[in-house]
Amino acid sequence: MLLESKGISLSLERPHVMGILNVTPDSFSDGGSWNRLDLALTHARHMVAEGATLIDIGGESTRPGAPAVSEQEELDRVIPVVEHLARECEVMLSLDTSKAAVMREGCRAGAHLINDVRALQEPGALQAAAEAGVPVCLMHMQGQPRTMQQAPHYEDLLGEVRAFFDERIQACEAAGIVRDRLLLDPGYGFGKNLAHNYQLLACQEQLLDYALPLLVGMSRKSMIGNLLGRPVDERLPGSLACAMIGMQKGARIIRVHDVQATMDALRVAWMTMTGRDFSQK
């Protein structure tokens, strides 16, 4: 299986690390760390040097309770970063956005992938993604980011996640987005309590039935902190455990803050599973 966009091709026969680049003042883990252009570019280069083959650039925090960001503000945060990285880095650039205008302008600026926590449900998003012609990651979320953790409830967790993906895949195809351009993200931490997250992780491999690439992001999340009683800056061991389990259960793109540590853990696990090492390039 290949992930291809604008001349960049990634073989999904092996795992890949997606480095998180939040150019926001209020993301739950690293808000304010990279919201200046020079700092963002330096951090992106560092993650690429550590082995990231994708960089996920986000200009709006989706943590519970985060305030909304205007379209123009998100564009101002994201577009300069995309433009600079597209000129200098031979990695896949992902846009972490739900706004149609950001999708359009970001892809014009050089982004290769749209990563939407709202699964193209915002006004104009389906059309913008179809026109951009790049791969799209659809994430499952119950509710909306600002309220999603207020008593999430499921009668059939996996069944409801699958029903959501069924509907969104159908909507994408109806809008002209080719199915084999889609990726799926189970949405750990989005409209799920502690038990829901680990129940879904335990059966994640059942989502491979879609024959679409799986992307997972559990890095530093509250599903780790609440289980272990650790603050955000002490969640690396738990994050690595989640990354390894996610990979073993079929995910081939692992979205993380700590690229080098995750690369090391993935390479050891992959060597054990397959007898092969994989290059950091």
What is the maximum alpha-carbon separation in the chain? Answer: 49
Q: Please, are residues 189 and 152 in contact by the beta-carbon 8 Å criterion?
A: no
3-state helix, strand, coil in the chain (%, to 5): 45, 15, 40
Token reading at 134: 């790049």
Which residues fall within 8 angstroms of residue 152, CB to CB, at 6 or more apart?
Answer: 142, 143, 191, 192, 193, 196
Length, in residues, of the chain: 281
Q: Which one from 77, 99, 168, 255 is the annotated catalytic residue?
A: 255
CA distance 101 to 152: 30
Unique residue bearing structure tokens 């079929």: 250
CA distance 126 to 135: 12
249: annotated active-site residue: no
Which residues fall within 8 angstroms of residue 108, CB to CB, at 6 or more apart?
Answer: none
Q: Please, are residues 100 and 128 in contact by the beta-carbon 8 Å criterion?
A: yes
Which regions of the chain does DSSP assign to beta strands (E)? Answer: 2-5, 8-11, 16-22, 54-58, 92-96, 113-116, 136-139, 182-185, 215-216, 253-256
Give backbone dihedrals phi and psi of 206, rounded to 5 degrees, phi first: -70, -20
255: annotated active-site residue: yes
Q: Which one from 221, 235, 249, 252 is the annotated catalytic residue?
A: 221
Pairing state between β 16-22 and 8-11? unpaired
122: exposed, middle or buried (C-beta count within 10 Å: 0-12, 13-18, 19+)? middle
Q: Would you name the residues annotated as active-site residues?
A: 221, 255
